[in-house]
Amino acid sequence: MFSDEKKKRELYRNIQGELWKMRHTWIPVLHILIPVLGILVFLYYYSFAAWSDEGKISGYIQVLSIAFPLIISGICSMSVEMEEKGCFQTFLGVAVNRRNPLLAKWIVLSGMGFAAILLAVLGFAGGFRALSGKAALSAGQYLALACVLWMEGADLYLLHLFLNLAFSKSISLCVGTSELVVSALFLTGLGEGRWQYFPCTWGGRWGGYLLQYWMGNGASSAEYMTKSLMIGMAVSLLLWSGIFLWFPSYEGRQSKD
């Protein structure tokens, strides 16, 4: 048995290794490029769109939430393909604690995802303030929106790493596309009573509840938010537990897309 200190040191080395492997790939670039392009597109559209400020912010957050599954699927596919080219040797062959490679990759990708979300939300906030001449929300409120979006994204990174490792890029992309459709549909009345069990819908719904709460619909929004957060925590725990229980038996895959 290895001490907790040795496991932590190995995890730290695995994280360093992931950062080193990704530094010359498109993965870090995409985490910057995609948010910047999204900000520019929406600010251009909002420069002439006749929406309320609240409607513009809500629409932007919802589109971010809807787009996440497919974007994350593609990024996870790129990361796993990088390992497959090396026959998973640097991913599986050097770790003593078998869960550390997956945990390190998840930490690095979800960390990049959080940075991308901060860029997307805070960058939009700055541009929107310059465009409208006023601050519709405070910096703290925009940060809260970024956090609820990241809660969705963190689960999706782990899920799509699992799908790419256990199956293939095609399966992950198909699931990502399905999640995109479900996320859009479940923002409507079709999602009532169901959306809490689908991580791909969390960012849009929780962002909407926060906006309602800040705009004065406090009691009902806070109640819905609390109940759905409890369900979301349970879903996340089951997802994380299942994948990290499975991973120690993983030996790589040979399938090609």
Q: What is the pLDDT of residue 255?
A: 47
Q: What is the pLDDT of residue 69?
A: 95
Q: pTM here?
A: 0.92
* DSSP state string for the chain: ---HHHHHHHHHHHHHHHHHHHTTSHHHHHHHHHHHHHHHHHHHHHTT----HHHHHHHHHHHHHHHHHHHHHHHHHHHHHHHHHTTTHHHHSS-SSTTHHHHHHHHHHHHHHHHHHHHHHHHHHHHHHHHHSS-SS-HHHHHHHHHHHHHHHHHHHHHHHHHHHHT-HHHHHHHHHHHHHHHHHTTSGGGTTTGGG-GGGHHHHHHHHHHHHHTT-HHHHHHHHHHHHHHHHHHHHHHHHHHHHHGGG--------
Domain-by-domain residue ranges, the chain?
4-249
Q: What is the pLDDT of residue 128?
A: 93
For the chain (257 residues), the mean pLDDT of every run of 10, in chain order, is: 69 91 92 96 92 90 95 96 83 77 95 96 94 86 94 96 94 96 91 90 91 75 81 96 93 60
Q: What is the pLDDT of residue 112?
A: 96
